[in-house]
Amino acid sequence: MRRTYRGSCHCGAVRFECEIDLAAADTSRCNCSICARTRYWKTLVKAEDFRLVQGADALAEYSFGSNTIRHRFCRTCGVKPFGRVHLDLKFGDMEMRGEYYAINLAVLDASDEELAAANVRFEDGRNDDYMSPPAVTSYL
């Protein structure tokens, strides 16, 4: 069931809300250089389903590689609650076009049970093959 989740960085300077159906969401863990190092677990939400409630001035931005994702993190505690990305993709029957937020599921107010029930897809970002899992996923 789709509902409003609240999320924040560790120190609470950055707070947001987003609309997600965690039971149906496509969540992913990736082995690219930044996701593997930070153990980032994400789901994408459309821009209209995201609201920054507090902390725009507390956010810093980091981009690298193709500069596709604008990774946002708290200047005080360093936690990355979300990133922003413009997509124009088609994968089989799935189309993703427009502005999205990559939400870090670890910062949501979701229960342990809700998070444990979420479907996880693994991405081989290290080899730019985001539709296939890497050979080893246990460390992600």
CATH number of the structural domain spanning residue 116: 2.170.150.70
Nearest to 2 by CA among 17, 22, 26, 28: 22
pLDDT in tens, the chain (140 residues): 899 999 999 999 999 999 999 999 989 998 888 888 888 999 999 999 999 999 999 999 998 877 678 999 999 999 999 999 887 766 666 677 789 899 999 999 999 999 999 999 998 888 988 778 888 888 88
Tokens of 21: 């159906």
Tokens of 77: 């505690």
Residue 50 lies in a domain: yes
Residue 135 lies in a domain: no
Residue 131 lies in a domain: no
Q: How far apart are CA 49 and CA 57, in angstroms?
A: 21
Question: Structurally, how many domains does the chain consist of?
Answer: 1
Give the predicted TM-score (pTM) of the model: 0.86
Residue 38 lies in a domain: yes
Residue 12 lies in a domain: yes
| CA-based R_g, the chain, Å | 14
Determine the structural domain holding residue 35 and report its residue range: 3-126
Residue 87 lies in a domain: yes
Q: How far apart are CA 109 and CA 18, in angstroms?
A: 11
Q: How far apart are CA 45 and CA 53, in angstroms?
A: 16
Is the alpha carbon torsion for 3, 47, 25, 17 positive or negative?
Answer: negative
